[in-house]
Amino acid sequence: MKKPRFPRVALIGIGLINSSLARVLRREKLAGEIVACARRQETLETALKLKLCDSVTTDPAAAVKDADLVVLGTPISAYGEIAKAVGPALKPGAIVTDVGSVKQAVIRDVSPHIPAGVHFVPGHPVAGTEHSGPAAGFAELFHDRWCILTPTAETDPHALAAVTAMWKAAGMRVVTMDAEHHDLVLAITSHLPHLIAYTVVGTATDLEETLESEVIKFSAGGFRDFTRIAASDPVMWRDIFLNNREAVLEMLQRFSEDLTALQRAIRWGEGQKLEDLFTRTRAVRRSIIEAKQA
């Protein structure tokens, strides 16, 4: 039997993304042994029951011992502490990567704890659903989606190639990008839409009680899509906003200006302005369909 690419893999956090990755590693026979690490015993028991891993631990340092590949998949506010804890336990030659939705803050928090001879490859598989936890994962989650890797000047090319190959095996299209640029692109494609969806749904829940129940009832007209987005993991998203603050605030500022202009057009009955924008945005959808991301 062929030796697996990674004899021992440590998954730190076993939520939607890492549990989906575990399923891919199994399917593709890329891992010899998988150890899952999480804070809650209940999560680990679910992971074991689903056969996503061979062993479990609540101790990150124990998890990474002898691991060839370590994948950080917790909310990113925990990365710094985890990196500090696992740093001394990492095996020379090991590859550390992550799945966080923000990259500059991750590099800032993790890099200082990576010892010489260990390779850090910051990464972001752009995939997900509004569900969380190990039971919500599935191997096809990554299929045909983009994975953005944001190597630093120090990143080892072989380690980068290994992580690239892993995500390609998951069915992803892999690109590399500067971390700062990644954070800006994701601020508009993901972080701002989530922030707005959270806000709209929050605004609706603050309405008088009778109105609120009707909002649920008649949600089919657009609101429903927002509630799906606004059902995403609260801690993960808290961390994203706190850790991509500058880019999110920049995009939010642009959005607010544009919204104010539309508000003014509605107030003054400027129909042509509205129609022009709505015609322009319709074309964007076509581009996305052509780019096969619909």
Footprint (CB under 8 A) of a copy of itself, residues 218-277 = 218-232, 234-235, 237-239, 241-242, 245, 248-249, 251-252, 254-256, 258-259, 262-263, 266-267, 269, 271, 274-275, 277
Q: Which of residues 58-97 bind a copy of itself (CB under 8 A)?
A: 77
Of 101, 150, 155, 164, the one binding a copy of itself (CB under 8 A) is: 101
- Spatial separation of the C-alpha atoms in residues 58 and 170, rounded to whole Å: 27
- Spatial separation of the C-alpha atoms in residues 93 and 115, rounded to whole Å: 10
Count of chain residues binding a copy of itself (CB under 8 A) = 91
Q: Which of residues 134-193 bind a copy of itself (CB under 8 A)?
A: 145-146, 148, 184-186, 188-193
- Spatial separation of the C-alpha atoms in residues 294 and 289, rounded to whole Å: 5
Residue closer to a copy of itself, measured from CB, 135 or 215? 215
Of 116, 153, 157, 282, the one binding a copy of itself (CB under 8 A) is: 282
- Spatial separation of the C-alpha atoms in residues 35 and 130, rounded to whole Å: 25
**Cβ 111 to a copy of itself, closest distance in Å?**
22
**Cβ 78 to a copy of itself, closest distance in Å?**
13
- Which residues are registered as beta bridge partners of 36? 11, 56
Distance of CA 19 to the CA centre of its chain: 13
Q: How many CB atoms lie within 10 A of CB 163?
A: 25
How deeply is 37 buried, as exposed, middle or buried, from its count of CB atoms within 10 A (0-12, 13-18, 19+)? buried
Residue closer to a copy of itself, measured from CB, 85 or 200? 200
Of 1, 116, 153, 284, the one binding a copy of itself (CB under 8 A) is: 284
Query: Among 27-35, 86-94, 157-165, 283-291, which window interacts with a copy of itself (CB under 8 A)?
Result: 283-291
Q: Would you say how long the chain is, in residues?
A: 294
**Cβ 10 to a copy of itself, closest distance in Å?**
26
Residue closer to a copy of itself, measured from CB, 30 or 101? 101
C-alpha distance from residue 101 to each of 11, 107, 141, 229 (Å): 17, 12, 16, 15
Residue closer to a copy of itself, measured from CB, 93 or 218? 218
Q: Which of residues 112-131 bind a copy of itself (CB under 8 A)?
A: 126-128, 130
Residue closer to a copy of itself, measured from CB, 59 or 214? 214
Contact predicate 42/15, CB 8 Å:
no
Residue closer to a copy of itself, measured from CB, 115 or 271? 271
**Cβ 114 to a copy of itself, closest distance in Å?**
26
Contact predicate 12/39, CB 8 Å:
no
How deeply is 161 buried, as exposed, middle or buried, from its count of CB atoms within 10 A (0-12, 13-18, 19+)? exposed
Contact predicate 173/145, CB 8 Å:
yes
**Cβ 193 to a copy of itself, closest distance in Å?**
3
**Cβ 105 to a copy of itself, closest distance in Å?**
12
Would you state the structure tokens that stand for residue 179, as one six-digit string?
């971390």
Query: Among 6-14, 57-65, 66-74, 217-225, which window interacts with a copy of itself (CB under 8 A)?
Result: 217-225
Which residues touch 149 (CB under 8 Å, ≥6 apart)? 121, 122, 123, 124, 160, 163, 164, 167, 174, 175, 176, 177
Contact predicate 174/167, CB 8 Å:
yes
Q: Which of residues 7-36 bind a copy of itself (CB under 8 A)?
A: none
